[in-house]
Amino acid sequence: MSERTLVMLKPDTVARGLVGRVIQRIEDRGFRIAGLKILRLTYEQTFELYRIHEKKPFFNDLVSHITSGAVIVIVVEGLNAITAMRQLAGSTNPLEADLGSVRGTFGLNGTINAIHTADGLENAKREIGLFFGLDEIVKY
């Protein structure tokens, strides 16, 4: 089934000049880019994106990293995009991620881990809505 998901290239990916290489992997896997923006997220936007993690011990580190520099938010579209993008991203901790995954290749630790992808249908819809209006998403 064709799905849309929200992918975010984190500040470490932008700062290290890895944007093109990560997007290449997304396109290599057969997905289309239906929306794309470069943003500097505020604390409030970051809190909204990650509010389910508010009580987690890593929350402050997470917010501090995400607000430390520019991010790229992308609407990725294609067959089983939500599950497939999570597979392409790899496990949260780069030490546990497959070597061929984005985090296994580019991630530095559990916080500085290159990429975020929505973890299910509801969150994909919610997260896309945080960053994109309907008129900002291309229909192929």
Binding site for ligand CMP (CB under 6 A): 53, 58, 62, 92, 110-111, 113, 116
Whether residue 106 contacts residue 22, with contact meaning beta carbons closer than 8 Å, is answered with: yes
Nearer to ligand CMP, 4 or 116 (CB): 116
Whether 70 contacts 14, CB under 8 Å: yes
Please identify, using beta-carbon distances, which residue of 45 and 92 lies nearer to ligand CMP. 92
Q: Which is nearer to ligand CMP, 67 or 92 (CB)?
A: 92
How far apart CA 71 and CA 9 sit, in angstroms, is 6
Q: How far is the CB of 53 from ligand CMP (least distance, A)?
A: 6
Active-site pick, 86, 116, 117, 128 = 116
Q: Measured between alpha carbons, how far is residue 106 from residues 57, 62, 84, 114, 135 in Å?
A: 24, 17, 18, 6, 33
73 bridge partner residues: 8, 37
Q: Nearest distance from residue 106's CB to ligand CMP, in Å?
A: 13
- State how far the Cα of 90 lies from the Cα of 95, in Å rounded to an integer: 10
Could you tell me the smallest distance in angstroms from the CB atom of residue 21 to ligand CMP?
19
Confirm whether 116 is a catalytic residue. Answer: yes
Active site residues per annotation:
116
